Amino acid sequence: MDAFATVDQLALKLNRTFGDAETPWLMELLEDASTYLREDVIGQQIYPQTTSTYTAYPDGGWIDLPQHPVASVDQVERDGRPVTFRRRDDSIRVDGDDPVDVTFTFGLKDAPAGLARWACVLVSQTLIPLELKLGLTVGGLSSVSIDDFKASFADGGAGTGMSLSARAEASLRSQYGSTIYTGGTR
């Protein structure tokens, strides 16, 4: 499971009980919300923890690892031979500028509570149009009424579906996003 939150966490936050038949659907929505946060907002694989190998091209001997937080640098090789390296935060230093293969582990073992909360918020705002059978978003729709029930969207539905305000996105990027080295001194 790659979702930041579980169906039980969602149920607790919404003070609702979901049936067993709804669990796969809600899990899918939580996975979608987590993917949106991970790929479209943060731009980093924060959770789950993952090990990856990639070919890096040092710049003055320095290599900025492409994902963070970095849990460990497991192996650095050049032409199949181990290379001595020194690590500083999410970067490593090797001798020379020839390409090296870097195997490292990044991400967190547990999903951050803040990202679990945001995943639940995204699913919650998606549930309203879905339960009203309006689709994933009601963009442009200002209200809908059925018999005595009426739902109105002050922003014409712009805030429905899986989307966050620009302010929330900026906050998440500053808290969890990438801090890639762009020059200057180390």
DSSP string, 113-151: HHHHHHHHHHHHHHHHHHHTT--S--TT--EEEETTEEE
Same domain (yes/no): 84, 97:
yes
Q: What one-character DSSP code corresponds to residue 59? A: B
Residue 135 has pLDDT above 50, yes or no: yes
How far is it, in rounded angstroms, from Cα 30 to Cα 183?
38
The percentage of the chain sitting over the pLDDT mark of 70, rounded to a whole number, equals: 79
Out of 106, 121, 145, pick the residue that ends a domain. Answer: 106
Rounded to whole angstroms, what are the CA distances from 116 to 30, 92, 167? 9, 31, 18
Q: What is the structure's pLDDT at 126?
A: 87
Query: Are the CB atoms for 97 and 58 separated by under 8 Å?
Result: yes
Domains held by the chain: number: 2
Query: Are the CB atoms for 156 and 40 separated by under 8 Å?
Result: no
Same domain (yes/no): 54, 79:
yes
Same domain (yes/no): 24, 116:
yes
Domain hosting 100: range is 50-106
Query: Are the CB atoms for 79 and 144 separated by under 8 Å?
Result: no
Full-prediction pTM beyond 0.95?
A: no
Task: Give a yes or no: residue 33 inside a domain.
Answer: yes
Same domain (yes/no): 123, 149:
yes
**Predicted confidence (pLDDT) per residue in 71-91, tens digit:** 999 999 999 999 999 999 999
Query: Are the CB atoms for 136 and 129 separated by under 8 Å?
Result: yes
Average pLDDT, whole number, for the chain? 85
Rounded to whole angstroms, what are the CA distances from 175 to 41, 120, 158, 169? 11, 18, 25, 10
Task: Give a yes or no: residue 183 inside a domain.
Answer: no
Residue 59 has pLDDT above 60, yes or no: yes
Q: What is the structure's pLDDT at 47?
A: 93
Q: What is the structure's pLDDT at 185?
A: 39
